[in-house]
């Protein structure tokens, strides 16, 4: 089974993702909701594959047979926008030690953090989650 790796970003007030492959072309999707984005993306791939198979176009066997799974990851921009549903950038700043203005740049895709900075953000979000879990 093949894995299609998709990274979801936040761009211009929407979540977005895309994927392309050789003879297949590309699928690009945007939506205000991550779950709807994933559903739209998966339906778009299935529809495009079905149309191409019906027209006799050549596709990789695994794609034509549906022998794939989709693995999603969130870019820091999407991760921060998703986290804002539950907390604020000010709180994330306190838990990560990253300046709130810099977090805002990451959330708005103005800047892209280094991998170590991404880890600090993820660790900070986990620490915030632990605080919620400690409430009795």
Q: Which distant-in-sequence residues (6+ apart) come within 8 Å of 38 by Cβ? A: 70, 72
Tens-digit pLDDT profile for residues 3-60: 999 999 999 899 999 999 887 889 999 999 999 999 999 999 999 999 999 999 989 9
Q: Which two tokens stand for residue 123?
A: 């660790």
Q: Cα(4)–Cα(97) distance, rounded to whole angstroms? A: 34
Which residues are bridge partners to 30 per DSSP?
A: 16
How many Å is the maximal CA-CA distance in the chain? 60
pTM of the model as a whole: 0.88
Pairing of strands 2-11, 68-74: parallel
């Amino acid at each position: 089974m093949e894995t299609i790796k998709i990274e979801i970003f936040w761009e211009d007030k929407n979540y977005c993702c895309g994927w392309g492959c050789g003879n297949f072309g590309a699928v690009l999707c945007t939506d205000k909701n991550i779950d709807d984005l994933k559903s739209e993306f998966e339906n778009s791939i299935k529809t495009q594959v079905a149309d191409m198979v019906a027209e006799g176009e050549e596709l990789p066997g695994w794609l034509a047979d549906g022998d794939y799974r989709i693995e999603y990851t969130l870019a820091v921009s999407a991760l921060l926008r998703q986290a804002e549903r539950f907390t604020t950038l000010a709180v994330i700043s306190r838990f990560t030690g990253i300046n709130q203005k810099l977090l805002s740049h990451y959330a708005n895709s103005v800047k892209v953090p280094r991998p170590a900075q991404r880890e600090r953000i993820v660790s900070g979000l986990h620490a915030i989650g632990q605080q919620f879990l400690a409430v009795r």
